[in-house]
Amino acid sequence: MLNLQQISDRLEIRQLMIAYATALDTRNFDAWDDVFTPDAYIDYRATGGIDGRYPDVKIWIKKVMTSFPNYYHMLGNMDIDIRGDAATGRTICFNPTALKSSQGEPQVMFIGLWYVDKFVRTAAGWRINERVEEKCFSHNAPDGLNVG
Give tens-digit pLDDT for 41-75: 999 999 999 999 999 999 999 999 988 899 999 99
132 occurs within a structural domain: yes
In total, how many domains does the chain have? Answer: 1
Q: What angle do CA 70, 73, 77 make, to 5 degrees?
A: 160
CB 54 within 8 A of CB 38: yes
73 occurs within a structural domain: yes
Q: Which CATH number fits the domain that encloses residue 86?
A: 3.10.450.50
pLDDT, tens only, 82-128 = 999 999 999 999 999 998 777 777 889 999 999 999 999 999 999 99
147 occurs within a structural domain: no
pTM more than 0.95: no
Q: In 3D, which of 93, 98, 97 has the Cα closest to residue 133?
A: 93
97 occurs within a structural domain: yes
146 occurs within a structural domain: no
Per the structure, the complete domain to which residue 21 belongs is given by 4-139
